[in-house]
Amino acid sequence: MTTSTELRFDGSLWCNLDIALRSIDTAYRRMIRPSNLTVIEWYVLRALFERDGQHASELARAVGRAATSFTPNLDKLQRNGYVERRPDQSDRRAVRIFLTDKARACEGEVRESARLIDQHIHAPFDSSEINTLRKVLARLQEVDE
């Protein structure tokens, strides 16, 4: 195990971010498992809790996925009764994604698991480190834009 100042692979940011993400992903999976949702499904529901009725392409962007490969995620959520597709009233070619009553019923559980995950991730850091990390993450999300 590395210390807080030692990074693997000669300090490669990409490699070390990937390793950190996989570690956090493991914690996510453990903490959201009771809901029987995958991590990506959990992200989609959280995005819809913030703004219901988004286009699929908007949802894909919101959760950091390519719109071209996002349909199977929505298909599974729909098949499991969490979302429904409805025609866009202003554009017949487009479809909007809406939460079902089943999804709304698990909103408290999803939000609580998000709180617990954030608490778990924040634990080893002080508030200034968390603020710095937020700034770094925001800038990293713009690297490919």
Entry pTM:
0.79
Minimal CA–CA distance to 45: which of 116, 107, 109? 107
Considering only 5-9, 38-42, 128-132, which range has the smallest mean pLDDT?
5-9
Domains of the chain by start residue, with CATH = 39-117 (1.10.10.10)
Structure tokens at 136: 């770094």
User: How does residue 34 score in pLDDT terms, banded at 50, 70 and 90?
Assistant: low
Helices and strands counted in the chain (H then E): 7, 3
Give per-residue pLDDT as tens, 2-23: 445 688 888 888 888 888 888 8
